């Protein structure tokens, strides 16, 4: 059976509550931290997680570490990959990330060296329009195909977690109707479709 890909929406963040979208790269609320930490005990596939892809915004990193931080570290082969393609669609301050040096100071256990100094600038491939966002989503699906093929070839089933944002998830899943709750998740497989991959919901 092929690897499962679990799309996870970040837990509750400050701008979700205040509706102050001028907040730059806000973190989780107290409830958000509780929601994310709960995943560490309630997420059903925890023992089979091999790779975690996460958006490099503060709220998705905090969700990832609270939920899955115990899986990584010394002696573990579980990887966290921070992928700027997973950042949220809009160019509002709340959806604009932070420089690698800022993130490194907040999260010293993670490596931000591959992000690029201006990964958070909403220009080029990260422009806040549907065409650019769809291209980013396609790039993530291609990466997921590569990861799953490697995992499936390696032996026992291992799964992939993707921690991202509500609007970007619609593009990634190819489903404009998907609307997961904060810290909610949905299971998919990834299949080749001739255009780089498609996510198929698991029954």
In order of their start, the domains of the chain are: 5-201 (3.40.50.1240)
Residue 154: predicted pLDDT: 82
Structural Rg of the chain based on CA atoms:
16
Q: How far is CA 2 from CA 145, 159, 192, in A?
A: 11, 9, 13
Confidence of residue 75 (pLDDT cuts 50, 70, 90): confident
Minimal CA–CA distance to 14: which of 53, 52, 62, 54? Answer: 62
Residue 152: predicted pLDDT: 86
Q: How far is CA 20 from CA 32, 36, 62, 98, 182, in A?
A: 16, 22, 19, 18, 17
| pLDDT tens digit sequence for 96-113 | 999 999 999 999 999 998
Q: How far is CA 43 from CA 20, 23, 54, 63, 120, in A?
A: 30, 30, 16, 13, 30
Higher pLDDT: 127 or 203? It is: 127
Q: Quick check: pTM over 0.75? A: yes
**172, 199 contact by CB (below 8 A):** yes
Q: How is residue 13 annotated by DSSP?
A: B
Give me the mean pLDDT over the 35-44 stretch: 95
Tell me the β-bridge partners of 188. 5, 201
Q: How is residue 2 annotated by DSSP?
A: P
Residue 7: count other Cβ atoms within 10 Å of its Cβ: 23
């Amino acid at each position: 059976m092929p690897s499962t890909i679990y799309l996870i929406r970040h837990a509750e963040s400050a701008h979700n509550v205040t509706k102050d979208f001028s907040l730059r790269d806000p973190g989780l609320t107290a409830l958000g931290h509780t929601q994310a930490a709960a995943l560490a005990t309630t997420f059903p596939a925890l023992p089979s997680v091999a790779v975690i892809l996460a958006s490099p915004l503060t709220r998705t990193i905090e969700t990832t570490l609270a939920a899955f931080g115990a899986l990584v570290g010394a002696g573990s082969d579980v990887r966290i990959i921070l992928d700027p393609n997973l950042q949220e669609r809009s160019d509002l301050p709340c959806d604009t990330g932070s420089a690698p040096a800022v993130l490194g100071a907040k999260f010293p256990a993670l490596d931000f060296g591959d992000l690029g100094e201006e990964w958070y600038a909403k220009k080029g491939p990260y422009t806040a329009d549907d065409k650019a966002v769809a291209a980013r989503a396609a790039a993530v699906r291609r990466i997921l195909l590569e990861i799953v093929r490697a995992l499936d070839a390696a032996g026992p089933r291992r799964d992939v977690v993707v921690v991202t944002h509500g609007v970007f998830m619609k593009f990634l899943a190819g489903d404009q109707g998907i609307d997961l709750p904060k810290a909610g998740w949905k299971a998919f497989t990834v299949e080749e479709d001739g255009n780089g991959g498609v996510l198929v919901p698991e029954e």
